[in-house]
Every structure is written in structure tokens, then in C-alpha cells.
Structure 1
């Protein structure tokens, strides 16, 4: 049993939006998850596809022989909260409204 992981940090999306997609692929086979992500309409899907490929390449480097992608399973997929970028929007009469731009860290763990 070979395990590998990949991590993307400081992704400019909220953890809620990322978790919504990650819950769908958790526990799935690599090929099924990849197919699901390609047809989902969310921005974060492209980032997760890159991360999945990175984790798959990590597992191929650990293994001696060629890997069958249909046997690789996503064991864990989660998003943690990252730092919040704080900006201000100018408003009438010299006021300023805060704008919070959230970031997240996405982790994916695969198992062969």
C-alpha cells in the first residue's frame, strides 16, 4: 500500500466553496473523480485537478512499476482556512467598508 499527498496553499477561494467540491470526490477512484471535476462548473475544480495530478505523480515516483490509475483511490480531501486578505471599499462621505478576501489550503491524499 503506497500513499502520497499534495498540498496547494493560499488558494484565492473560500473554504466553503472548496469543501463543497472536495466532499464530492472524497473516497472516489482517481479516474472517476477526475471525470467529475471536469464537468463541474466551479472555478476551484481546475485547481483541484492540478492537485490530483500532482498527487498522482508523487505516487508514481514512490512506486517502482507502472501504476494503473483505476486502482488509485482518494483517501482524504480537505480544505483548511488560510489567511484573509483585508481590503477597503471607499464609500460616500469619507467612509470605508471592509472587504474580506478569504484564502484556503487544499490537501489531497491518495492510496494505491
Structure 2
């Protein structure tokens, strides 16, 4: 049984967020949390909160089940580009340089390894 958590309009560029997300893709939840805790990037804090939210969503979906027994792991993590805030910075000779302040959307899916699929 999988659970989903989403983070929309996070004010970090998608490229910087993908650097952090690539570290935890496919890892067990306990290992992913420890990786994020000791990663020295601002995006790691936001992804850590998102992972904790996905774990809680999984726990509410599976009443009475514990994540430690079911070997929860990060199944899928996607980072998509969000909206861009367009700003102008003063430039020489009266011109203005455009600055694009990027944001992103992160989707994180957590699943348990001992899922039994029954074929009827």
C-alpha cells in the first residue's frame, strides 16, 4: 500500500532540489531520514518534512501497521518546475536584466516492500 505527499510552490530551483532528492530515491525510510538530516543543503530540510508527512499518510492509510515491520521505502520522488516570479535588476546604461525566481513541485511516494498482490 503506497502513500503520497506533495509539496507545491517550494521557493527553490528544481535543479537544486533534484540534487537532494536523488540521494534518497529508492532508499529505506530510516536511511533516507538520516541522509536528509546530515545533508548540508536548505532543500534537505523541506524534503525531510515531506518524507515525514508521507510516512504519517502511510500510517493513517494502514491502521495498526508499523513502518519498521513493513520495511517502508521511498518508491518514487519527482521534482517538477513550478511557477516563476519574474523580477528586474538594474543594469548598466539604463537597462534592466530579468531575474527568474524559480519554484518547484515535489511529489513523494512511499511504499512497503512486503506487499502481497493477490491475483483472482
| Length-normalised TM-score, structure 2 | 0.87
1:22 to 2:21 alignment: yes
Whether 2:106 is the aligned partner of 1:106: answer yes
Q: How many angstroms does 1:90 deviate by?
A: 1.5
Determine the structure 2 residue equivalent to 1:4. Answer: 3
What's the TM-score, normalizing by structure 1? 0.93
Question: Which residue in the other structure is 1:92 paired with?
Answer: 92
Aligned to 1:56: 55
RMSD: 1.2
Shift of 1:34: 0.3
Equivalent residues, number? 111
**Unmatched runs of 5 consecutive residues or more in structure 1:** none
Aligned to 1:68: 67
SS of structure 2 residue aligned to 1:82: strand
User: Which 4+ runs in 1 deviate beyond 2 A?
Assistant: 91-94
Which blocks of at least 5 consecutive residues in structure 2 are unaligned?
A: 113-120
Once the two structures are superposed, residues 66-87 of structure 1 have per-residue CA deviations (whole angstroms, 9 ceiling, x without a partner) of 4133611100011001111100
CA distance in 1, matches of 2:27, 2:60: 22
